[in-house]
Amino acid sequence: MFAKILIANRGEIACRVIRTARKLGVRSVAVYSDADAGALHVEMADEAVHIGPSPVGESYLRGDKIVAAALATGAEAIHPGYGFLSENPDFVDQVTAAGLVFIGPSAASIRAMGLKDAAKRLMEKAGVPVVPGYHGEAQEIVLLASKAREIGYPVLIKARAGGGGKGMRRVEHPDDFSEALSGARREAKAAFGDDRVLVEKYVEKPRHIEVQVFGDIFGNVVHLYERDCSAQRRHQKVIEEAPAPGMTPALRKAMTEAAVKAAKAINYSGAGTIEFIVDASQGLKADRFWFMEMNTRLQVEHPVTEMVTGADLVEWQLRVAAGEKLPKTQSEITLSGHAFEARIYAEDAAKGFLPATGTLHHLKFPDTAPEGASMRIETGVRAGDVISPFYDPMIAKLVVHGKNRQAALEALGIALSRTEIAGSTVNTAFLAALAADADFSAGDVDTGLIGRHQQALTAVPPPSSEIVAAAAFAASGAGAQAPSNDPWSSLAGYAHFHTVPRRTRLRYGEDEIVALVSVMRPDGRFQVALDPPYDSANPLDLRAAPRLARWPGNVTVFEGAVGYSFAVPDPLARADEIAAGSDSLRAPMPGLVKLVRAAKGEVVIKGQPLLILEAMKMEHTISATHDGTIAEIAVEGAQVTDGTVLVRFAEEAHG
């Protein structure tokens, strides 16, 4: 086994590799860009090396810098994770030329599967079924259009390089072929530097089912069963599961045998995934699946396979790369239960899954797994970390395992409902809606399911009056004395204001909300009066209070997997705005006049501090909004309510 490895990646996969390395007694070296200087993977590793600015082209895609870092730190091998350089055969050549071990397949294997058209020709020779289509070198539009007619519409135009849905177009009619081809080529050229395409038969009800394979340098290849990755948006996976729902013994046998045959055809060593497209229009049948592509690396969704087989695939990678045989034979690998993985992203599902950024001011995952299930959280971030625009906006992978699919699905829904994230727009509500979707729950899933149900899956109901009231209570500062995780236990502190209502303003989207918060003593409840369209009076019982998080300028209330975020305007800024040019300054909130710094008859200038108001357990300076003479000022030690006149200027104060 290696003594030290370098991980040429970031985020949750870097953290994942570090955990297994630590378990095996292997020291780890992290690499990081400017944006990741304080990242979790840097903190977890035994050593860390800075490799450049934040853009990936200047850091994580710089193979020369990564190899230099490995040599400088004495690492013996490099683990590529996934993405970045993980499937770049030129990088593998760089690593091996430097006398280091690449923890993955050979450069030759990667090249053999790197281009979809060449890979499919290779699979045809190996006897692996491929989708009917044209995979040749000629790229003239007349030829491609002719092949499309031979195949029969609808057809799918696909970039021969890359993945992730880029350079892909579905064409329903011959008249649309030319325009779709131009669009696919432009996108492929921009994304992969290669505008060549292939044309395939479009499968009407496609299931994306993939098989995890593993090989070693002794020629042994095994499979670790299948995963279903059909739940996709924009051709990118959202929820994966193992095993595939509805899988028949005949199809599993045919598919796993084909996957092993594919890996052996290229002398594969390490972790790999053979992806198949399955026609589910008439159920799952052994003669209705076709090779799509091979991912010559560890997959994002590998944890579901680990959950149902008990294998640590990263450990297998390290052992095989170190020259050991596969840890298990095929007969020793068995399936147990069912697992789901949900990818939690910073993205706005309602806006076409637009990636989001922001600071994770509040990040809380379930402390324990739902009853009867097991759970793991794969993440590379902590509360306070920033989701930057430079990298994939994944926050975490939530993985659950149950005794069967229904138990695992219920556990997934519960775990998502207990996940709390504030500071960025996230997709937890969408994931929970998908998990609860009738078709998905029944296992009737295909790659078009999310598209068909997208409006319903991304719709978030408006906040109830109870949610708004809870936000108003939190924003009012009534719970300011309480611990951050229990803002409801501090009503005794709020009694300082006696039962005088506290006026609070919120904003939800475009809606401006005004609320009056007051304590109902002695029963320990509080009451919030809201302007229409919400209830005019909505008492809440603290024993059933919603979960919430306060963060700068906002409060988020959680209801299930939905986080309702309300903006809380700065009352002092609002007071200054209203008071500018006015003959008086009013209290922006209830509080105590802690200190008076001016006197009646004194001439003051704009910006001069006049008094200190203590509110929400903080001191706020009230300053003059213009030059003038004080006609009246509050008394030190006075308890004031929202709107009380604190300072009045003489009439000649301004003109």
DSSP for 616-648 reads TTEEEEEE-SSSEEEEEEPPTT-EE-TT-EEEE
Counting as low any pLDDT under 70, the low residues of the chain are 163-164, 478-501, 519-525, 535-545, 571-582, 589-590, 615-618, 642, 652-655
What is the pLDDT, as a whole number, of residue 131? 83
Distance between CA 556 and CA 420 in Å, rounded?
A: 9
Distance between CA 244 and CA 230 in Å, rounded?
A: 10
What is the pLDDT, as a whole number, of residue 482? 39
Query: What angle separates helix 141-151 from helix 177-192, to the nearest 10 degrees?
Result: 110
Planar angle of CA 569, 571, 577, nearest 5 degrees: 95
The single residue listed with the structure tokens 């609070």 is: 504
Going across the sheet that includes 197-201, the strands are: 133-134, 197-201, 155-159, 168-171
Q: Which residues of 283-304 are buried (b: 16+ CB within 10 A; e: fewer)?
A: ebeeebbbbbbbbbbbbbbbbb
CB atoms within 10 A of CB 386: 15
220 by Cβ neighbours in 10 Å (0-12 / 13-18 / 19+) ranks as middle
Distance between CA 381 and CA 144 in Å, rounded?
A: 46
Distance between CA 35 and CA 39 in Å, rounded?
A: 8
With residue 261 as reference, give the H or E element that holds it. helix 249-265
CA 312 to chain centre: 23
What is the pLDDT, as a whole number, of residue 532? 75
Q: In this structure, are residues 273 and 208 in contact, taking their beta carbons and an 8 Å threshold?
A: no
What is the pLDDT, as a whole number, of residue 266? 94
Distance between CA 159 and CA 280 in Å, rounded?
A: 24
- For residue 621, the cross-strand partners are 612
Catalytic residue among 227, 252, 297, 319: 297
Closest among 354, 427, 433, 367 to 397, alpha carbons compared: 427
Q: Copy the structure tokens of residue 37.
A: 């200087």
Q: In this structure, are residues 490 and 559 in contact, taking their beta carbons and an 8 Å threshold?
A: no
297 is catalytic: yes
Sign of the Cα torsion 356, 357, 362, 368 reads positive
Cβ contacts of 388 within 8 Å, gap of 6 or more: 35, 54, 357
CA 339 to chain centre: 19
CB atoms within 10 A of CB 190: 11
Distance between CA 360 and CA 382 in Å, rounded?
A: 8
Three-state DSSP state, 187: helix
What is the pLDDT, as a whole number, of residue 652? 64
Q: In this structure, are residues 605 and 624 in contact, taking their beta carbons and an 8 Å threshold?
A: yes
Distance between CA 596 and CA 594 in Å, rounded?
A: 7
Going across the sheet that includes 584-586, the strands are: 584-586, 645-649, 628-633, 603-604
The single residue listed with the structure tokens 């699905």 is: 409
Distance between CA 478 and CA 481 in Å, rounded?
A: 8
Amino acid code (one letter) for 322: A
445 by Cβ neighbours in 10 Å (0-12 / 13-18 / 19+) ranks as buried
Sign of the Cα torsion 299, 305, 309, 310 reads positive
Q: Copy the structure tokens of residue 535.
A: 């209830």
CB atoms within 10 A of CB 333: 18
CA 184 to chain centre: 27
Interval 81-120: pLDDT, tens: 999 999 999 999 999 999 999 999 999 999 999 887 788 8
Instruction: Read off the DSSP letter of residue 326.
Output: P
Q: In this structure, are residues 150 and 177 in contact, taking their beta carbons and an 8 Å threshold?
A: no
